[in-house]
Amino acid sequence: MAKQSTIVIAIGGNAITKENQKGTLEEKLANIESSADSIIDIIAMGYRVVLTHGNGPQIGNILLRMEAAAHIVPPMPLDVCGAESQGQLGYLIQRTLTNKIRQRGLDKEVVTILTQVLVDSNDPAFKDPTKPIGPFYSEEQANKLKLEKNAVFVEDSGRGYRRVVPSPKPIGIIENHVIKDLVEQGKIVITAGGGGIPVITDGKGELRGIEAVIDKDWASSVLAQEIKSDLLVIITGVEKVAINFGRPNMELLSQLTVFEAKKYYDEGHFPPGSMGPKIAAAIDYVEKTGGKALITSLEMVGAALKGEAGTFIVPDANGIFEEVI
């Protein structure tokens, strides 16, 4: 992949508010600061970067604040909460990247786009909430909140119980042409925060917000397709994807064809609460574009772009993956 190629990089909301943190401004800024250098390194390598991010912990906290103050201030629907998290996190990421770009002497500008993402109002996800948001609770706490808030809670990958909300599949990015224009102008674009603000079209063809949270990896896949990105990078907490994770026969993978990725997915190697959506979103991008997707940790993404780390998802006809740049 040549320099000046466009890369969509999807970072999880847990990289901004980590487990067991309260979500203070100081914590968020410290986490963004520690993450930013890896992004700046990629920019310095000459790539055009489009950055997306999750908002699970943050939107959960926004909902908690609204619920606590509902007797004083009218609560807002979930799509408006998503927009609030986009502005909040986009500002913090944009400010941090701008400062670090100036420190490195790079001639780049950073911009945040408030992004609406189209979904189908008849998506079955609206009848089956599955998207975890907010903090982790004990089973006792979750059962109490379930009764108090009329919310749905599920156990999340052995880490505790989290509230779940509808997570419809994204159909399209409303602002995709604006984003593509900015990228072609050389801007670093922060977009589709938290998977984007979910909207539907009504009977008049007008946009209307809807109560949901879109998976940021799926939204990033659709975005990468629509702006014709050269590579989709999905950031996770590990350097490489593994099968038999956590077992004595665990195997780290440097490359997966679409066929192999689907096979391991169907066999249950990638749980729905962790690696599953990342693999599914990567498969979708590769199948529809014929390009490659990369899954790795933020610390190793620079090495991965040199073919020295990470897990690449490649088309079935590609054969053995040899080099990235």
Active site residues: 13-14, 131, 216, 278
Cross-strand pairs, 197: 116
**Cα–Cα dist 174/200, whole Å:** 11
Do residues 56 and 133 make contact, with C-beta atoms less than 8 angstroms apart? yes
Tell the residue number behind the tokens 């790079």, with chain if given.
Answer: 106
**Which residue type sits at 40?**
I
Do residues 230 and 1 make contact, with C-beta atoms less than 8 angstroms apart? yes
- What are the strands, taking DSSP E only, across 127-166? 131-137, 152-155, 161-165
**What DSSP assignment string belongs to 59-91?**
HHHHHHHHHHTTTTS----HHHHHHHHHHHHHH
Q: Is 261 exposed, middle or buried (0-12, 13-18, 19+ CB in 10 A)?
A: buried
Nearest to 84 by CA among 110, 58, 111, 64: 58
- What are the strands, taking DSSP E only, across the chain? 6-11, 48-53, 110-112, 116-119, 131-137, 152-155, 161-165, 170-173, 188-190, 197-201, 207-209, 231-236, 241-243, 251-253, 255-257, 292-297, 311-314
Using the Cα atoms of residue 161, residue 65, residue 87 and residue 94 in order, give the sign of their dihedral: negative
Do residues 307 and 320 make contact, with C-beta atoms less than 8 angstroms apart? no
Tokens representing residue 68 in the block: 């606590």
